[in-house]
Amino acid sequence: MAGHVVAMKKNVLWMLLSVFSIQGAAYIGQLILAGMLTVEGFATVRTVEATLQVLATVAPLGMSLLVVRLASQSTESAQTGRVLTSYMTIAGVSALIVASLGAAVVALHPTPVGEYFGALVWVVVLTSVGRTALNYFYGKERFGLISVTTFVASAASLGLLVVLVDRWQMDGWVFSRYVAEGLVVLAGIYFVGPMLSRHRMLWGEIAEVCREGVAVSASLIFRSAIDNAPFLIFAFLAASQVEIAIYGMCTLLVAGAMILPSSLVGVMLPRYGKIQQNAPEELLGQHRKYERYVALSGVVVALALVGLGLLAQQFSGKFSDVYPYIAIVAMIVPIRALAALNGNILFVRAQTAIGARINIICAVAIVVLSLFSGHVYGLWGVIVASLLSEFAAMVVFRLYANKSAVRR
């Protein structure tokens, strides 16, 4: 047991480095942009990045998550390589279709924000392929290998971001995003390359995987909608770019605060897969223990975010009014983390359709509530609608996860 705890702590540290390198670097980059760009420029960056985050969840058609289960429940063999090759191919083709549709939409309705979105939409192809490749090693719990690689790539991309934005402002931001994702893709392909096979799954097998991938993607896209819809709706409703930038800063800090609890949830996913494979009767007991870990980490991070939120006021006074909003928005961190952990149960039990239905209902609810409360009560109304919807999603996920874990 002691060895198990030590190994988990070590894996969490590696996962923290990995998540920080991939997601955290993106958040730090946006904080840098908040200081280097005008308020209007930063509002554009947050709007585009939030939209890209939604697209990036659906672009790989669930392959970036299914590959974790593949790795955790199989040995490295020719059959595994064949399936992995198919997953990578599906992720790339699906992302290309999604990016093409996104580019077509903004071309039909050109706007200043849409111009930058159209320039960056193709980055989701790189994101899909790179994440699918790297996530295989998450499933194998080889966190150290990936963490060091992605840290080096992200550090280089952050340095480049500062140089390019200082020289070319918004255009420099666009170019740096492609460089950052390109480095991650190169790292992923380098490591999975020896495993890839010329032979892919048969069409019948691909169709079955794609059906499950659609369910995973639906769950992820609506989960992303729950995360991002309040901000995007407020960006649509608000007349003030300053208010959009303030709420954008709030959502950015919350996303950064999710790094620790998300790392815990990520480390536990392959463990859930192994428990389900070898001792499913122990799944609920282990899940209860993991819930305590995740809840504690979420509360600690939320409290830290409330304290550190004062730092956001140091950006030349541009975000001097942000702190009261952060103090409330921070409550979302432990709630969102627990919802994700309970989603692990449904995923390893191959009940992704249930998770998709929960996220669809909650996403519709948050859109309706945000539109109404944002129109009537402004920013505070959107924040309260977001908090209520996140809490409802967590409660329902926990109920279904408990039922699934005890079912034989």
Longest dimension (CA), the chain: 60
Q: What is the pLDDT of residue 3?
A: 47
Of 5-9, 119-123, 200-204, the one with minimum mean pLDDT is: 5-9
**Element (DSSP H or E) covering residue 97:** helix 78-108
Say whether both 101 and 160 belong to one domain. yes
Say whether both 54 and 161 belong to one domain. yes
Q: Per-residue pLDDT tens for 107-158?
A: 887 787 888 998 999 999 998 998 898 888 877 777 677 777 777 877 888 8
Given a contact cutoff of 8 angstroms between Cβ atoms, the answer to whether 249 and 234 are in contact is no
| In-domain check, residue 233 | yes
Q: Among 152, 178, 201, which residue terminates a domain?
A: 201
Report CA Rg, the chain: 20
Say whether both 233 and 164 belong to one domain. no
| In-domain check, residue 114 | yes
| In-domain check, residue 210 | no
Q: How many domains does the chain have?
A: 2
Say whether both 229 and 193 belong to one domain. no
Say whether both 172 and 230 belong to one domain. no
Q: Is the pLDDT of residue 169 over 50?
A: yes
| In-domain check, residue 206 | no
Q: Among 201, 227, 261, which residue terminates a domain?
A: 201
Given a contact cutoff of 8 angstroms between Cβ atoms, the answer to whether 90 and 213 are in contact is yes
Render 259-294 in DSSP notation, one character per residue: HHHHHHHHHHHHHHHHHHHH-GGGHHHHHHHHHHHH
**Residue closest to 368 by CA, chosen among 357, 358, 381, 380:** 381
Which position has the token pair 């609608």? 385
Say whether both 114 and 250 belong to one domain. no
| In-domain check, residue 207 | no
Of 43-52, 121-130, 273-282, the one with minimum mean pLDDT is: 273-282
Say whether both 238 and 179 belong to one domain. no
Domain that holds residue 386: 215-408
Q: Is the pLDDT of residue 4 over 60?
A: no
Q: Among 201, 229, 263, which residue terminates a domain?
A: 201
Tokens describing residue 217:
């993607």
Say whether both 119 and 145 belong to one domain. yes
| In-domain check, residue 209 | no
Q: What is the pLDDT of residue 98?
A: 93
Q: Is the pLDDT of residue 170 over 60?
A: yes
Within 8 A by CB and 6+ apart from 213, the residues are 61, 62, 63, 66, 90, 94
Q: What is the pLDDT of residue 335?
A: 93
Within 8 A by CB and 6+ apart from 364, the residues are none
Tokens describing residue 24:
């955290």
